Amino acid sequence: MRRADGFSIVELLVASAVTLAVVAGISALLNPVQAAFQSQTEAADVEQRLRVAAQMLEADIAGAGSGPDRGVRAGPLGQTFPPILPFRRGSGADDPPATAFADRITLVSVPPAAPSTTVSGNGPPQDSDWLGVDAQPECPVSDPLCLFTADSAAVVFDDSANVDLIAITAVSSENPTPMLQHANQHLTFAAYRPSAAAVTGVSTVSYAIDHQASQLVVSSGLGAPDAPAADNVVALSFAYLVDPQPPNLTTYGPRPPPIDVQGPSLEWPPGENCAFAVVAGAHVPRLPVLGAGSTLLPMALAQFTDGPWCPDSSSTNRWDADLLRVRAVVVTLRVQAAIVALRGPAGLLFSVAGTGRDSNRWVPDQEVSFQVTPRNLNLERVP
Amino acid sequence: MSDRGFSLLEAIVATAIVTSGLMALAQLTILATRANAASRAVSTATMLAVDKMEQLRAYAWTVDVAGLPVSDAALQSSPSGTLDADVDGFFDRLPGWTRRWSVTPLPSNAETLVLQVRVVGRRGEESRLTTARTRRAN
């Protein structure tokens, strides 16, 4: 026989108490588990973005300044012009001359086995679209510029502090003077010395931060548009460590003309250039000694916009002579969580405020600061 | 078959089983959080070690125009054990981390330095890097 009197009140109470206990336990777990599920994946993502961005910057800065491995100007680029610039040059969004920014950097390097030759004296005038160059020694007579290609970039420089970055638009191998076309980009200097000025394949990379989109942007290659390199980067800054010793005749820096000989720029008196002055009939460094020994010292950004200007203060391609002293870069990088709900109010933890109220769910910004010492800028140093 | 439903004891046992299962699940999220924190610690340690290594690379270790060696005082050979204990001049402290390094010339060629950096965190997280530096890279 079935009983038909249902549950007693005590049974009902006990059953509801047990059910409640179980449900309470589950729901108490649910919230933190969901929070962890959301925030931990994002935290790992933040870490990953930071690592990728840091490694990109580190690799490019460490390689800056590598020069041609052969030819008249073989050796590190830092001997004659600065391969690390605190502004954008050669990118699709160049900065005007005589500026410096803490959150922008341009890195110039010559890749391994880049094509290399010299300016020829037989070519058309240097202020035209075509640059006459000498045949590459390693190329066959029928194809004297075998390693140069259209749509590549080249750097033209000699030891007089003049330097030009050109995008090659066509290669002419016609004898007697092979030529490289760089249409619509006139050289800023039109008196490169034949056989002494190098023309070498080059790689330029410039980094900047797009504050609007919170992106680290990179432009690799001459005139290349910005491409995002890492998302949710909220701060980027570069600080510079410099050689306390100024360029002198036996170390680095553009070579001055001989005493009493007028150099290519009329702004400097005979025998002088942007890095060297003449005192009592002898070349002396124009830049001051900043300290004893060889320990690198920090230099403020303002020092990179106050001259002396190389090659002179009227060149549109000018750079501050102090940039020649740069030996190491300190990079600071800050990355935030992509999801607004995982960021709290702006302050110490967050650069850009989010909507998250529950601090259990916050994924704070990650910031790193690290030094990079470009190998090619530290080969030769004199205390 | 009994048609009297579950006894209280049965219900409690069942609840206990469900709870232990849930606890195991909760443990997973704690594990994931810990693994995340550990990987962040190792990343940080490595970054700090790289930073120190780059500082060591910035000291002059080269030759001058006359071909004579130029060596920064900071690159003098370190005593033994600088990686395992704090020795003046071969360690620094950063919030939460201790960095120690050593500079040892190669036994067969004193012109080549072996640089080592070890970064140790409060909870024993660590990263260790080793590199060689020659007088001239070319």
Tens of pLDDT, residues A261-297: 888 888 899 989 999 999 998 999 999 999 887 889 9
A221 neighbors A153 (Cβ within 8 angstroms): yes
Distance, in Å, from the CA atom of B117 to the CA atom of B101, rounded to the nearest integer, reads 4
% of chain B exceeding 70 in pLDDT: 95
pLDDT for position A309:
93
- Distance, in Å, from the CA atom of B82 to the CA atom of B73, rounded to the nearest integer, reads 17
pLDDT digits (tens, 9 = 90+) for A215-254: 999 999 888 899 999 999 999 999 999 999 888 887 788 8
Best of B28, B34, B36 to mutate (most A CBs within 10 Å, chain A): B36
pLDDT, tens only, A27-36: 887 888 888 8
Cβ contact (<8 Å) for A373 and B50?
Answer: no
Shortest distance between the Cα of A370 and any Cα of chain B, in A, equals 5
Cα A296 from Cα A40, distance rounded (Å): 40
What pLDDT is attached to residue B138? 37
Residues A173-184 have a mean pLDDT of 83
* Dihedral sign, Cα of residue A91, residue A95, residue A98, residue A100: negative
Using alpha carbons only, give the angle A23, A26, A30 rounded to the nearest 5 degrees.
Answer: 135
The whole-model pTM stands at 0.88
CB–CB of B19 and A22 under 8 A? yes
Q: For residues A146 and A173, what is the distance between their CA atoms, to the nearest angstrom?
A: 8
Instruction: Give me the pLDDT at residue B82, please.
Output: 92
The 10s digit of each residue's pLDDT in A321-346 is: 999 999 999 999 999 999 999 999 99
Give percent of chain A with pLDDT exceeding 70: 97
CA distances from A304 to A82, A183, B98, B133 (A): 12, 31, 35, 31
Q: Are A342 and A356 in contact (CB under 8 A)?
A: yes
Rg (CA), chain A: 30
> In A, which residues are within 8 Å of B57 by CB distance?
373, 375, 378
Nearest to A254 by CA among A235, A268, A233: A268
**Eight-class DSSP state of B5:** -
From the number of C-beta atoms within 10 Å of its C-beta (0-12, 13-18, 19+), residue A89 rates as: middle
Contact A373 B36 (CB under 8 A): no
Tell me the CA distances in angstroms from A159 to A82, A131, A253, A260, A273, one per residue in order.
12, 18, 8, 18, 11
**What's residue A383's pLDDT?**
47
**ipTM reported for the complex, 2 dp:** 0.82
| pLDDT value, residue A335 | 95
